[in-house]
Amino acid sequence: MPYSHIIAEKKGRVGLITLNRPKALNALSDALIGELGQALDAFEADGEIGAIVLTGSEKAFAAGADILEMKDRSYIDVYSSDFITRGWERVAHCRKPVIAAVAGYALGGGCEVAMMCDFILAAENAKFGQPEITLGTLPGAGGTQRLTRFVGKSKAMEMCLTGRMMDAEEAERAGLVSRVVPNESLVEEALKVADRIAGLSQPIVMMTKEAVNRAYETTLAEGIRFERRLFHSTFATEDQKEGMTAFSEKRQPDFKNR
Ligand code: CAA
């Protein structure tokens, strides 16, 4: 399907979405967020796709919500239209794994969308920040909550209160990104990781994602109970039988997503 603000491509069993508003550093306009939701819906519905990579350009993953588009909106405008919740949260609600491949600026809503993904691979030139305070507002797409869970109170508070950016090395040290890779191999590396995930059993991958996400939403005891029930339920799948049989027969498993 042709889009105006993103490019959506199938790379084998991986869906690649590239944010594509280069003149505005991929500022996240309503139209762009709408297209992103449509592309995610399409990849979620496509049985051939096992994982999704979300990336931007070499200069910017995304420089935040579109400031020019929102600057004159009133309280009633943003409240009534459920700004952010309607649309943006689609990323966080994906059931298939979504990997953010971040080069350049991931600021404000850009940082927040990256954090809605399941993990972040960063290029060496990546810069993360929540500069909303310098605009007279505060993060509105989960930044104060997700950044704090990723990097702890002290660093999150400093970043949200000052708007200071964090480079890739600091982001890796702080646990915001899973790995830093050379700029030129970012998308290739993200596709490789996504393809590895897409080659596993899709239902078990989704259960694993659900279980890890639960760690952010509940107590340790409840989280462990949730994990245990999912673990037990994998024994009702053909893929668990295939995976363990293949190991015992010293061959690669042939998962059927059943
Ligand atoms: N919204 C709209 N347009 C944006 C934008 C944004 N968030 N970020 C950059 N642009 C546009 C600029 O207006 C400029 O357009 P023109 O060429 O037409 O003037 C173009 O992108 C290039 O930007 P710069 O000239 O500023 O590029 P630079 O290299 O000098 O600076 C930057 C890069 C540091 C990222 C700077 O653009 C910047 O500070 N951007 C804004 C970052 C920001 O504050 N983000 C938070 C937005 S609020 C938010 O996201 C709320 C939320 O939580 C949901």
Q: How far is the centre of ligand 1, averaged over its atoms, from the C-alpha of 141 (Å)?
A: 17
Question: Active-site residue 238, yes or no?
Answer: no
What radius of gyration do the chain's Cα atoms show? 19
Round to whole Å and give the CA distance between 51 and 196.
9
| Stated pTM of the model | 0.97
Quick one: angle between helices 143-151 and 153-162, nearest 10?
A: 140
Q: Of the candidates 186, 244, 223, which has an alpha carbon nearest to the alpha carbon of residue 54?
A: 186
1 pLDDT tier (thresholds 50, 70, 90): low
pLDDT of amino acid 2: 83
- pLDDT digits over 119-136, tens only? 999 999 999 999 999 999
- Catalytic-residue membership of 58: no
Cα 121 to ligand 1 centre (Å): 22
Q: What is the pLDDT of residue 68?
A: 98
Q: Is the CB of 129 under 6 A from ligand 1?
A: no
pLDDT the model gives residue 50: 97
For 33-65, write each residue's pLDDT tens digit: 999 999 999 999 999 999 999 999 999 999 999
